Structure 1
Amino acid sequence: MAKFEIYTDKKGEFRFRLKAGNGQPILASEGYTSKSSCLNGVESVRKNSQDSTKFDTLEAKNGKLHFNLKATNGQVIGSSQMYKSDRSLKNGILSVKKNAPKAELVE
């Protein structure tokens, strides 16, 4: 089963990552100063992941592809890993759409 993992990074900021049922990370957050803000970020991913217009696809300088998921206000709420092909990038977006709404929350 997919899950959102909440954790604290080395700076003491709260972050989450969405992992697919196979344990692969499919989306990671920016740092939040409070746990409640981080949890709001998770809820924003659950909601906004169902809107295809909220996904921005990007190409890095090395030619690899990645995507950002944005909230209604335009803020980035999650970023993907790097992908080698357009097909794998699209599969990553589909995985977020499929898994985010029902993913278990693990703290």
Structure 2
Amino acid sequence: MIKINKKEGGSFQFMLKSNNGKTLLESITFTSENELDKTLKDIKALKDSNGKFFERRTNTDGKFLVELKNSFGKIIGSSGLYSSEAGMENGILNISNSIDKVTKLDRQ
């Protein structure tokens, strides 16, 4: 499920959630609903790109995270932190599977 939040000032953000409600990926802030909607329409196509839109990163504390980029190379979302590289790879799999199963947008 993708949960969409309207933020103060008229901006928008989405969170990709697993079936059990865990946040897998949190988006950047979008300045308009139109920009958000365009990104959400493209998100399934990004999933089918053999992972080339997932950037694996390590923070300064040695924790792992994933950033999802659009087709122009702009970061559109980031995962939470993982304590291991294997956990991060499993997170990518979960994000991909959740994107593939998205049928509902929850706008709040």
Task: Give the TM-score normalised by the residue count of structure 1.
Answer: 0.90
Question: Does the Cα contact within 8 Å between 1:65 and 1:85 map onto a contact in 2?
Answer: yes
Q: Select the residue among 16, 32, 35 that pairs with 1:34.
A: 32
**2:14 corresponds to which letter in structure 1?**
F
- Is the Cα contact below 8 Å between 2:47 and 2:99 reproduced in 1? yes
Q: In structure 2, what is the Cα distance between the partners aligned to 1:60 and 1:89?
A: 13
Q: Gapped runs of 5+ residues in structure 1?
A: none
The answer to whether residue 101 in structure 2 is matched with residue 105 in structure 1 is: no
Q: Within 1, Cα distance between the matches of 2:46 and 2:26?
A: 14
SS at match of 2:3: strand
Match of 1:62 in 2: 61
Aligned-residue Cα RMSD (Å) equals 1.3
SS of equivalent to 2:52: helix
Shift of residue 12 of structure 1?
3.6
Is the 1:45–1:78 Cα contact (8 Å) retained in structure 2? no
Aligned to 1:14: 12
Q: Any idea what the Cα deviations from partners look like across 1:19-52, whole Å, max 9, x if unmatched?
A: 0001111111111111121122222222212221
Q: Which runs of 5+ in 2 are unaligned?
A: none
TM-score (norm 2): 0.89
